[in-house]
Amino acid sequence: MKKALAFLTASVMALGSLPFLSVGAESFAPGDVDMDGVITGHDTALVSRHLARGDNSLSRKQLELADYNGDGVVDQTDVEAIHENEVWELGDVDMDNDADMDDALVIFQEYSYIASGKNPIPDALTDVQKNLADMAGKCTVATEVTLDDSFDCLVIFSLRSAGRSDEVFPVVNGQKCYFFDNPYENDLEIIVK
């Protein structure tokens, strides 16, 4: 009995350490498509956008990570599995488990600081937070946030607050997507003209 228990314990410990056995290469969990160390709504958005639009140029490594269930095919099943395992939803930049107006403000503040040419603020956004700000799922790696990101976050919050959550994410070819295509983008151009 003691030998069986020792063998079982050793086996579990060995299996638990497998992702960390690679030497000299970074290892990412399946589903961590943006490779920032955590599965978030941005990972879901990247894979969902890849399937629906194919315009975000996922690398070979990112496509391997997108195959969440390991069946050799990146499909809607993988998108749903990644979505179910998100730590933070897309847009939850302040990571308080609620994508709301505060997140839009955080993005706007970061953008304003960068646009003014000032040195980065001490509490600048992390790569994970910058990824969460990419509502469209276009950026495959962390970048600086944009004014569009702030506006998109505000639009999502407004739609949800108005009870129009069904308008937040598009449906493409009958599949629910998890990225935001802002239907109001061009309205601003009309107002400005």
Show the 3-state SS of the chain: CHHHHHHHHHHHHHHHHHHHCCCCCCCCCCCCCCCCCCCCHHHHHHHHHHHHCCCCCCCHHHHHHHCCCCCCCCCHHHHHHHHHCCCCCCCCCCCCCCCCHHHHHHHHHHHHHHHCCCCCCCCCCCHHHHHHHCCCCCCCCCCCCCHHHHHHHHHHHHHHHCCCHHHCCCEECCEECCCCCCCCHHHHHHHHC
Of all residues in the chain, what percent carry a pLDDT higher than 90?
57
pLDDT of residue 140: 86
Q: How confident is the model at residue 98 (pLDDT cuts 50, 70, 90)?
A: very high
How do strand 171-172 and strand 175-176 relate by DSSP bridges? antiparallel
Q: How confident is the model at residue 161 (pLDDT cuts 50, 70, 90)?
A: very high
For residues 90 and 39, the answer to whether their CB atoms sit within 8 Å is no
Domain assignments of the chain as residue spans, ordered by start = 29-181
Residues 38-59 have a mean pLDDT of 95
Residues 149-173 have a mean pLDDT of 90
Range with lowest mean pLDDT among 21-25, 41-45, 53-57, 112-116: 21-25
